[in-house]
Amino acid sequence: MATVVSRPKLSLLERSYFPAILGGLWITIKHFIKMTFGQTKVTMQYPEQKWDSALPEWYRGAPTLVKDEHDRERCVACQLCEFICPPRAITIKPGELPEKDRWAKVEKFPEKFDIDMIRCIYCGLCEEVCPEQAIFLRKDYSITGLTRAEMVHDKAKLYELGGVMDGLVHKWNEKK
């Protein structure tokens, strides 16, 4: 059934538009004045102000490789992260350590470790799957580059971003 919505009956003054126009002008000038005297809270001015300090502990930023306090790379090139990575952003080329190396008992090391940051979806599965606590998602979120090649983080870049992490489990220490 059709319903008829009755139009409100406007008085002559209301039909002259003036009360509505003046009311609107009053509202806008209030906003203008508040903004002029800095009483309005506006958006964060992004490149100058960042929310870095407000990031939670569990924030998932760019995946990075970390070294332990002995300045030793923790990754043993098991390639679990490469297999689990949903967008297949990680490429690892494992290499054998030479026999005489102090850390030769550690199975392997990554000769090449690339993470394609165009593909990465910041899911954190690589961190979760890593048996060596070698890969961590840190708080870097502004990953930019001018070329596609620049967007692929190689081993050096990953260690630069990851740095050193203390207090990790050292399950190889007794075999050294």
Partner 1 sequence: MPSLDLFLQPEIFLAWTSALKTVVILGLVLTMVAYSVWAERKVSAFIQDRIGPNRVGWAGLIQPIADGMKLLLKENFVPAGVNKFYFSIAPSLAMVPAILVLAVLPFGSTLFGVPMVIADLDIGVLWVFAVSSLGVYGIVLAGWASNSKYPFLGGIRSSSQMISYELSLGLSVIPVFMITGTLNLGEIVQYQVDNGWMVFPAWFSSGAGLLEITADSGAMFGLSLEKSLLWIPMLISFVVFLIAMFAETNRVPFDLPEAEQELVGGYHTEYSSMRFALFFLGEYAAMIAGAGVIVTLFLGGWSLPFIPDGSQGWFWGLVNIGTFFAKVAAIIFFFLWVRWTLPRFRFDQLMKLGWYVFFEVALINIFLTAGILAYLQS
Residues that bind partner 1 (CB under 8 A): 21, 24-25, 27-29, 31-32, 35-36, 40, 42-43, 45
CB-CB neighbours of 155 under 10 Å: 19
Nearer to partner 1 (CB atom), residue 40 or residue 128: 40
| Spatial distance between the Cα atoms of 142 and 122, rounded to a whole number of angstroms | 12
Q: What is the smallest separation between the CB atom of 14 and partner 1, expressed in angstroms?
A: 15
Q: Report the nearest approach of partner 1 to the CB of residue 40 (Å).
A: 5
- Nearest residue (CB) to partner 1, 27 versus 104: 27
Please state the separation of Cα 94 from the chain's center in Å.
Answer: 27
By beta-carbon proximity to partner 1, the closer residue of 38 and 98 is 38
Question: How far apart are the C-alpha atoms of 51 and 143, rounded to whole Å?
Answer: 15
Can you tell me whether residue 171 is helix, strand or coil?
A: coil
Taking phi first (over 0 means left), then psi (-120 to 50 degrees means alpha), and beta for anything else, what does residue 88 get?
Answer: left
CA distance 105 to 67: 17
Pick the closer one to partner 1 by CB: 46 or 58. Answer: 46
Closest distance to partner 1 from the beta carbon of 31 (Å): 5
Measured from the CB of residue 61, what is the shortest distance to partner 1 in angstroms? 27
